[in-house]
Amino acid sequence: MKLLNLNISFEQYAGIDELAENDRLLCENAEQALATSYSPYSKFKVGTAIRLATGQIVLGSNQENLAYPSGLCAERVALFTIGANQPDAVIESMAITAHTDTFEITKPVTSCGGCLQVMAEFERKQKTPIAVIFYCLNGEVLKVPSVKSLLPFSFVEDRLER
């Protein structure tokens, strides 16, 4: 038996004002995406903004459905929009934030496992890293250089490509 360790590096900021301008604008776009969230059941709004290599910003928000789990997370809404409309687009980075009137969110909300797997697939497909920013409104920001940092053991089966 071998005992192995896995380490990741990420950046932590006190707020978006410490970010580079393009990352700060991406976070502000994610915040704007909150307005299109359809979350009447959880009352938990999530917004995502994705910057493509062209500079274009694509937004997504969580979309709930009474027939749970028929809804979709904000990250997948934005990613599948890109996949359906611009299948060859290269994603540089994405920002994710959340808001609810039910309680105060004091730490950045991270993506669920399903979203991480989809994010990993897009990163794998384009063969370049996607930086991910988790942004707490009026608070802490976490930034990772690659989805692989978040899901190092993503599902990969190369034989399915044949």
Tell me the per-residue pLDDT of 103-123, one tens digit each, with 9 for 90 and over: 999 999 999 999 999 999 999
The CATH code that applies to domain 11-149 is 3.40.140.10
pLDDT of res. 160: 66
> Which secondary structure element, helix H or strand E, spans residue 12, and what is its range?
strand 11-13
The structural domains of the chain, with segments of one domain joined by +, span: 11-149
Confidence tier at 126 by pLDDT (50, 70, 90) = very high
User: Distance between CA atoms of 14 and 19, rounded to whole angstroms?
Assistant: 9
Average pLDDT over residues 81-87: 98
Q: Tell me: pLDDT of 102 over 90.
A: yes
User: Distance between CA atoms of 121 and 75, rounded to whole angstroms?
Assistant: 13
Tell me the per-residue pLDDT of 1-60, one tens digit each, with 9 for 90 and over: 999 999 999 999 999 999 999 999 999 999 999 999 999 999 999 999 999 999 999 999
Q: Which of 123, 127, 130, 121 is nearest to 160 (CA)?
A: 121
Report pTM. 0.94
pLDDT of res. 162: 65
User: Distance between CA atoms of 104 and 116, rounded to whole angstroms?
Assistant: 24
Instruction: Count how many residues are written for the chain.
Output: 162
Q: What are phi and psi of 57, to 5 degrees?
A: -110, 130
Confidence tier at 69 by pLDDT (50, 70, 90) = confident
